[in-house]
Structure 1
Amino acid sequence: MSNVNDLVGLEFEPYCFEIEKGKIREFVQAIGDDNPIYFDMEAAKKEGFQGIPIPLTFLQVIDLWGGYSFQEKMEKLKLNPVKILHGEQHFEYLEDIYAGDVLTVSSKVINVDIKKGSSGGMDLITTENQYKNQHGDLVAISRNVTVHRH
C-alpha cells in the first residue's frame, strides 16, 4: 500500500451471525467457565437475564466464525500476513446479547498510527466492529488493533 493512512474509513461488507446456544456452551467449556447461566435457562433467569447470555469475549467467536477469513481481511487491508500480529482487543457492551439473537456486524478501519523504532517501523491499524441485533439495536462495539511490521 502506498500510504497506510489511506486505510482509514475503509469499510468491510456487513455480515450476519445467529447466536447458537450450543456454540455458547462449546465456548465456555473451552475457556473453563462452568457458570450455569451459559447453558441453563433457569439459572440465567435467576440471575436477571432474559435468556442464555453470551460470555464477555464471545464477540471474537462471532468475528472468527461469521466474518471474513484471515486471508480475505489481509487482502482487503493490503497487508503481508507474515508481518502482522494481534495487538489489542476491546469490547463494549451496550445491551445483553442472547442465544437466538441474530447480529449484523459492520466493520471499518477507524485509525492508523505509524510508529518508528530502531529496529524498523510498524503500523497500528484499528478496526471497529458494530453489532446490531435483529431489532436494529446497537448491542456491542469491538475495537481491534492489528500490528503490521515494516
Structure 2
Amino acid sequence: MDKMGGITMKKTLLTLLLLMTIFMQPASADVFNEIDMMVNEYNENTDHVPSLLKNTLGNEVIYLLIEMDDGSKLHIKAVTENALITTFEEFDPENNIEATVKVTVKENTVYELLASEKPLESFSDALESENIIVEPIGLVGTIKFQVANVLFKLSDFLGIA
C-alpha cells in the first residue's frame, strides 16, 4: 500500500470512529432519556395520586440509582414539589444532593415499569419483590415513609390508587 492509500485509509477509519462516537449513546443515556420522556406524562397525571400520599411525599429530593445491565450505575436527581417533578437530571455521585430518599432499581425493572399497562400495580409488585428498594434518609424521612407506606397499602386495598 502506498503512502497516499495509507493516509486515505486512516482518514476513513478516523471518520468512522468519529461517527460511531457521535451516534452510539451508552445504554444509560437511553434509560435516562426514556424516563425523562415519562416525566411530563407523570406530571400531567398527578391529580390521580391520592391526596394523602401527595401531601406526605409530594416534596422530596430523590436519589435514583439505576444499576445498569452492563454493571455501570446511572445516578439521577429528581426533585418533587407538590407532587410534580420539577428537576430530573443526571448527577455525579461525589456531589451531595441532600436527598431525602434513595431509590435503587435495576435497568430491566425500569423497562418493565415503562412498558406496563398498570404502572402503579407493577411498581407495588416490584417493591414487594424488592426489585425496587426505597430507603428514606434521616429520622423524619423514615417516619414519613412509614406513614406513606401504610397510606399506599390502604389506598391500594380500597382501590383508590
TM over 0.5: no
Structure 1 length as normaliser, TM-score? 0.30
Looking at both structures, which has the greater relative contact order when contacts are Cα pairs under 8 Å and sequence separation is at least 6?
1
Which protein has the bigger strand share?
Answer: 1
Which protein has the bigger helix share?
Answer: 2
Report the structure number with the largest CA radius of gyration: 2
Structure 2 length as normaliser, TM-score? 0.29
